[in-house]
Chains A and B, each alone.
Chain A
Amino acid sequence: MPFQVLSSPHDHPARPVNRLMLQVLLALIPAIAIITWFFGFGLLINLTLASATALLAEAAVLRLRRRPVRPALFDLSALVSAWLLAIAVPTILPWWMVVLGSLFAIVVVKQLYGGLGYNPFNPAMAGYLLLLISYPMEMTQRLSPSIPREHMPDLLQSLQISFLRVIPPGTTWDALTGATPLDELRTKLAMGLRVDQIHSGSFWGHLTGQPWEWVSLALFISGLWLIYRRVISWHIPLAFLGSLSALAFLFFLLDPQRYPVGFFHLVSGGTMLGAFFIATDPVTASTTPLGRLIYAAAIGVIVFAIRSWGGYPDAVAFAVVLMNMAVPMIDHYTQPRVTGHKRRLGP
């Protein structure tokens, strides 16, 4: 009887890629629920648009590349990119911008480099940056969570905003939108106010606006769950959050008038999403343990630098994509010492 001959090991019980991706998607759901609650149904519209675009684009390009379509669609990686992009952009973004960002992320950033595993840049963040640089106005116009709940656009009104740019009657764009805490801080500091003066406004929760605190908390807990499930390793979140808070704390100590308390940065903008869901993208992050610490710590530094002294209120996307570029070099110089060899620098 001839037997099947395969190379050892004869068992590969590891969780397949699509299970890992599925867990990332599941981990995003609490945050999605909270964002929808505070920032409207626009997120669900964005999620739908981005997901459909990503899947269709992935299928189309794979067809053109004469590659099998089904395995790639079912690995769920396109969906993860789509969701991250949808969560990162404002909930009242015009529909075609969501589609454009998602299309760019999948077609150019991912598939043109060879598909899953070959892209040097994080697709969701590259898509986000394309939109941010091209349409800075729309990309910074966010629905204000502090508008009264009865004026919150419902699903139909959200669809009208997204597709027709028509806002509910009796309101204005200015009334509907508001600054994020990072924006607020930046603008007021530029106006010469001190941090404690800014902070006393009604706008603030404990540290930032309460909605952002809730979203950050949800992402933080989900992120811990991903670490617990070993979907991501602890290195990147720890180093990213660690370097960002260390810098923030240091500058707060030096000049509390101009720099908010360190913890502020952790619950603002894209920090938590970046730390647990974006910088941890295995394809584009550094792969060695030491390299991950360096990579993520550098992201934290860049985020702090851009937020404090740069031209944009938030910087997670820039920091991640910039450090994506440095990954090959970081990996090269942080190889672990192979057992039985003496330590050396690089190969």
Chain B
Amino acid sequence: MSLPRDLSPSGRRLWRFHGGVHPPEEKALSTAAPIAPALIPDRLVLPLQQHIGAPAQPLVAVGERVLKGQLIAQADGAVSANLHAPTSGQISAIGEHPVAHPSGLNAPCILLEPDGEERRAELPEPLADFAQRDPGEVLARIRWAGIVGLGGAAFPSAIKLAPGPDLPIHSLIINAAECEPYISCDDMLMRRDAAKLVQGIHILRHVLGVTGECLIGIEDNKPEAITALQQALAAHAPAHTELVVIPTLYPSGGEKQLIQVLTGQELASKGIPAQIGMVCHNVGTAVAVADAVLRGIPLISRIVTLTGRGLAQAGNQEVLIGTLAADLIAQRGGYRPGVTRLIQGGPMMGQALHSDQVPLTKGANCLLAPAPAELDASAPAGPCIRCSQCADACPVQLLPQQLYWHTRAKDMDKVQDYNLFDCIECGCCAYVCPSHIPLVQYYRFAKNSIWTQAEEKRKAEHARQRHEARQQRLERVERERKEKIRQKNEALRRKDKPGSDQGKPDAAGNPSGNEAETDPKKAAIAAALARAKAKKAALAEQGVQPKNTAELTPAQQRQVEAAEKRRAQAASQQESE
């Protein structure tokens, strides 16, 4: 619902999305002190996949010495991102290491042992005159710097900055909402680097060729950041750039929600902002872009909020990418007694970590260690009383209780009828549920079941096609063999009767001499036709499959599924940003 709600302090008309919740604000826990400078830990663990997309390809060998800022792994394909050494040191290993992933599985990582000398690699030339340069050149620099969305989704930024000629971009949206309670890294970044942010906006506008407005959406619970930004904008105001203060309401920081609040525009269900001429970037991303373009610094560190009453010392800190959560927390005084949970991200959409022996990647915005009584997460679930508070809170107007009901019944068709895949996993429904039902967990389960089913169906289909092709091949071989024998026999017969009807049409009217050539050809054509028919039938069958996988080849389907999975994850992290 995009009803106009009210006016921002600057007099701009704002809209509101449906539902939303207002969790108690806990940002003050981590905003007392300025951002602490980065420390160099004893080891860095650098996952090759810091982002959504394909893992990067390592460029270094074990034992090799690297310099700070040196490219150590190269983006592999379009949806991927470069990886640079956060400090100088020696590559001690390349292999599997635990990472912050819901599965708890390991992932390939480069292990770097810092030497503490901070010897810098030669940085590329600053592009201070970026405005005179070709946007493609500036974009290449951003791609080189390995910048991904720092709001949490970690989508390679260069892709968002090159939507292609079909999607002209007229507006730039800067996401400064930071709606998750507890997280304050963007808030602190804006207080410190407001000027850099404005530079970043100039660069993003140039790269995108944005002619229209640029809106910076910020929630009204960050007055210091608002002041800092106002000053920076007054000093170097880019044309048509407006700071829009919006009411604090979770999840305003979701990309689609923010666009709705600022512009009243509603993105199509599976649409991206570029389709309505907009691109949305997080403030951290914009600052990283400024660093890369104007100073030649790749993305090797980020600001992480360390918070929760289970930590000895909450605050924000510059963190080298690859620092283990355990090392970082230990450097800051460790845990308070009784901590049983560690969450990467905020309380609404963060991901619970199995262990703190995992590295902080480019998308990690917060480590939250609640004290035992701080966040209530383990109350036993009761029966759903159909109170609809979940539906009232859902920012995309789903009916969470129906999704829950059908998920419990394992009726995955019905779950999709109720638009499961529009769920952004923001957690509003579970947050307000008086029966304490972990609703989001059910939706994740349902999504995974559907992906698994689709995958199994794809595999079964693939196996069937292979089987049929093999069957046809065997039949063809058999036919050809028989044909050969027949020809041989015929040839022998003809030899036995020299001078008889050689070269003349046989009884059926076929030129007997050509038969050997035409028949295998015919068979091959028939086989090809049969294969095409089988494929068509298979596609028709796929037409009755779950909608999101309709009419796709298996390979495309696989891509779509992977993308969906990533998108869901992205949504679950970025949107909270």
Q: A206 near B: Cβ within 8 Å?
A: no
Contact assessment for B401 and A10 in the assembled complex, using a CB-CB cutoff below 8 Å: no
Q: A170 near B: Cβ within 8 Å?
A: no
Q: B453 near A: Cβ within 8 Å?
A: no
Contact assessment for B427 and A116 in the assembled complex, using a CB-CB cutoff below 8 Å: no
Contact assessment for B434 and A16 in the assembled complex, using a CB-CB cutoff below 8 Å: yes
Q: A7 near B: Cβ within 8 Å?
A: yes
| In the complex, per-residue mask of A254-296: 1 if CB is within 8 Å of any chain B CB, else 0 | 0000000000000000000000000000110101110000000
Contact assessment for A347 and B382 in the assembled complex, using a CB-CB cutoff below 8 Å: no
A3-B353, A75-B382 as given contacts; A341 in contact with B269, CB under 8 Å: yes
Contact assessment for A6 and B256 in the assembled complex, using a CB-CB cutoff below 8 Å: no
Q: A201 near B: Cβ within 8 Å?
A: no
Q: B399 near A: Cβ within 8 Å?
A: yes
Cβ 8 A contact of B383, one of A12, A116, A336: A116
User: Nearest chain-B residue to A336 (Cβ)?
Assistant: B397
Contact assessment for B355 and A1 in the assembled complex, using a CB-CB cutoff below 8 Å: yes
Contact assessment for A9 and B386 in the assembled complex, using a CB-CB cutoff below 8 Å: no
Contact assessment for A12 and B269 in the assembled complex, using a CB-CB cutoff below 8 Å: no
User: Nearest chain-B residue to A285 (Cβ)?
Assistant: B386
Chain B residues, CB < 8 A from A202:
none
A14-B389, A282-B388, A347-B417 as given contacts; A5 in contact with B352, CB under 8 Å: yes
Contact assessment for A17 and B355 in the assembled complex, using a CB-CB cutoff below 8 Å: no
Complex alpha-carbon distance, A2 and B342, angstroms? 9
Least distance between A16 CB and chain B CB atoms (Å): 6
Segment with Cβ contacts to A, from B4-12, B44-52, B169-177, B438-446: B438-446
Q: A136 near B: Cβ within 8 Å?
A: no
Contact assessment for A16 and B436 in the assembled complex, using a CB-CB cutoff below 8 Å: yes
Which B residues, 354 to 400, have Cβ-Cβ distances below 8 Å to chain A? 354-356, 368, 370, 375-380, 382-389, 391-392, 395-399
Cβ 8 A contact of A282, one of B353, B368, B387: B387
Complex alpha-carbon distance, A257 and B468, angstroms? 84
Complex alpha-carbon distance, A286 and B343, angstroms? 37
Which A residues, 1 to 36, have Cβ-Cβ distances below 8 Å to chain B? 1-17, 19-20
Contact assessment for B396 and A10 in the assembled complex, using a CB-CB cutoff below 8 Å: no
Chain B residues, CB < 8 A from A20:
387, 434
A116-B383, A339-B256, A339-B396 as given contacts; A10 in contact with B356, CB under 8 Å: no
Least distance between A343 CB and chain B CB atoms (Å): 11
User: Can you give 22 contacting A-B residue pairs, CB < 8 Å?
Assistant: A3-B356, A4-B378, A5-B352, A7-B444, A9-B349, A9-B377, A11-B375, A12-B376, A12-B430, A13-B376, A16-B382, A17-B385, A20-B387, A115-B383, A282-B388, A288-B391, A289-B392, A336-B391, A336-B397, A339-B396, A340-B267, A341-B269
Least distance between B222 CB and chain A CB atoms (Å): 21
Chain A residues, CB < 8 A from B395:
339
Q: B435 near A: Cβ within 8 Å?
A: yes
Least distance between B348 CB and chain A CB atoms (Å): 5
Complex alpha-carbon distance, A75 and B436, angstroms? 13
Segment with Cβ contacts to A, from B82-90, B127-135, B197-205, B418-426: B418-426
Complex alpha-carbon distance, A71 and B436, angstroms? 13
Cβ 8 A contact of A287, one of B356, B388, B430: B388
Q: A118 near B: Cβ within 8 Å?
A: yes
Least distance between B294 CB and chain A CB atoms (Å): 37
Max chain A Cβ within 10 angstroms of own Cβ: one of B260, B349, B354, B431: B431
Chain B residues, CB < 8 A from A5:
104, 352-354
Chain A residues, CB < 8 A from B351:
8
User: Nearest chain-A residue to B355 (Cβ)?
Assistant: A2
A10-B341, A288-B388, A288-B399 as given contacts; A117 in contact with B440, CB under 8 Å: no
Complex alpha-carbon distance, A339 and B397, angstroms? 6
Least distance between A71 CB and chain B CB atoms (Å): 7
Complex alpha-carbon distance, A269 and B266, angstroms? 47
Chain B interface helix/strand/loop/mixed:
loop
Contact assessment for A340 and B271 in the assembled complex, using a CB-CB cutoff below 8 Å: yes
A3-B354, A339-B395 as given contacts; A10 in contact with B383, CB under 8 Å: no
Contact assessment for B433 and A14 in the assembled complex, using a CB-CB cutoff below 8 Å: yes
Chain A residues, CB < 8 A from B432:
14
Complex alpha-carbon distance, A108 and B266, angstroms? 47
Chain B residues, CB < 8 A from A15:
434
Contact assessment for B434 and A14 in the assembled complex, using a CB-CB cutoff below 8 Å: yes
Least distance between A19 CB and chain B CB atoms (Å): 8
Least distance between A293 CB and chain B CB atoms (Å): 13
Complex alpha-carbon distance, A123 and B571, angstroms? 42
Contact assessment for B422 and A339 in the assembled complex, using a CB-CB cutoff below 8 Å: yes
Least distance between B329 CB and chain A CB atoms (Å): 10
Cβ 8 A contact of B399, one of A7, A77, A335: A335
Chain A interface helix/strand/loop/mixed:
loop
Chain A residues, CB < 8 A from B438:
6-7, 12
Contact assessment for A12 and B433 in the assembled complex, using a CB-CB cutoff below 8 Å: yes
User: Could you say which interface size class chain B belongs to?
Assistant: 35 or more
Which A residues, 284 to 313, have Cβ-Cβ distances below 8 Å to chain B? 285, 287-289
Q: A338 near B: Cβ within 8 Å?
A: yes
Q: A337 near B: Cβ within 8 Å?
A: yes
Contact assessment for A11 and B431 in the assembled complex, using a CB-CB cutoff below 8 Å: yes
Q: B17 near A: Cβ within 8 Å?
A: yes
Chain A residues, CB < 8 A from B370:
10
User: Nearest chain-A residue to B418 (Cβ)?
Assistant: A347
Complex alpha-carbon distance, A213 and B168, angstroms? 67
Contact assessment for B352 and A6 in the assembled complex, using a CB-CB cutoff below 8 Å: yes
Complex alpha-carbon distance, A115 and B353, angstroms? 36
Q: B492 near A: Cβ within 8 Å?
A: no
Max chain A Cβ within 10 angstroms of own Cβ: one of B256, B340, B430: B430
Contact assessment for A17 and B382 in the assembled complex, using a CB-CB cutoff below 8 Å: yes
Chain A residues, CB < 8 A from B427:
8-9
Chain B residues, CB < 8 A from A9:
347-349, 377, 427, 430-431, 440
Complex alpha-carbon distance, A13 and B432, angstroms? 7
A117-B385, A287-B386, A340-B269 as given contacts; A6 in contact with B399, CB under 8 Å: no
Q: B572 near A: Cβ within 8 Å?
A: yes
Complex alpha-carbon distance, A331 and B391, angstroms? 13
Complex alpha-carbon distance, A3 and B339, angstroms? 8
Contact assessment for B377 and A336 in the assembled complex, using a CB-CB cutoff below 8 Å: no
Max chain B Cβ within 10 angstroms of own Cβ: one of A6, A13, A282: A13
Chain B residues, CB < 8 A from A331:
402
Max chain A Cβ within 10 angstroms of own Cβ: one of B340, B388, B402: B388
Cβ 8 A contact of A338, one of B398, B414, B425: B398
Q: B23 near A: Cβ within 8 Å?
A: yes
Which A residues, 324 to 347, have Cβ-Cβ distances below 8 Å to chain B? 331, 335-341, 347
Least distance between A101 CB and chain B CB atoms (Å): 22
Least distance between B534 CB and chain A CB atoms (Å): 34
User: Nearest chain-A residue to B416 (Cβ)?
Assistant: A347
Chain B residues, CB < 8 A from A16:
379, 382, 434-436
Q: B18 near A: Cβ within 8 Å?
A: yes
Chain A residues, CB < 8 A from B377:
6, 9-12
Chain B residues, CB < 8 A from A17:
382, 385, 434-435
Query: What 9 A-B pairs have minimum CB-CB distances, sorted nearest first?
Result: A9-B427, A7-B441, A117-B383, A340-B269, A282-B387, A339-B396, A347-B417, A11-B375, A5-B352
Complex alpha-carbon distance, A50 and B4, angstroms? 49
Which B residues, 99 to 127, have Cβ-Cβ distances below 8 Å to chain A? 104
Contact assessment for A2 and B354 in the assembled complex, using a CB-CB cutoff below 8 Å: yes
Cβ 8 A contact of A117, one of B347, B352, B384: B384
Cβ 8 A contact of B386, one of A71, A115, A283, A336: A283
Chain A residues, CB < 8 A from B156:
none
Chain B residues, CB < 8 A from A347:
414, 417-418
Contact assessment for B401 and A287 in the assembled complex, using a CB-CB cutoff below 8 Å: yes
Complex alpha-carbon distance, A4 and B343, angstroms? 10
Contact assessment for A10 and B343 in the assembled complex, using a CB-CB cutoff below 8 Å: yes
Contact assessment for A8 and B419 in the assembled complex, using a CB-CB cutoff below 8 Å: no
A283-B386, A338-B269 as given contacts; A10 in contact with B350, CB under 8 Å: yes
Contact assessment for A8 and B350 in the assembled complex, using a CB-CB cutoff below 8 Å: yes
Q: B544 near A: Cβ within 8 Å?
A: no
Chain A residues, CB < 8 A from B433:
12, 14
Complex alpha-carbon distance, A115 and B435, angstroms? 14
Chain B residues, CB < 8 A from A283:
385-386
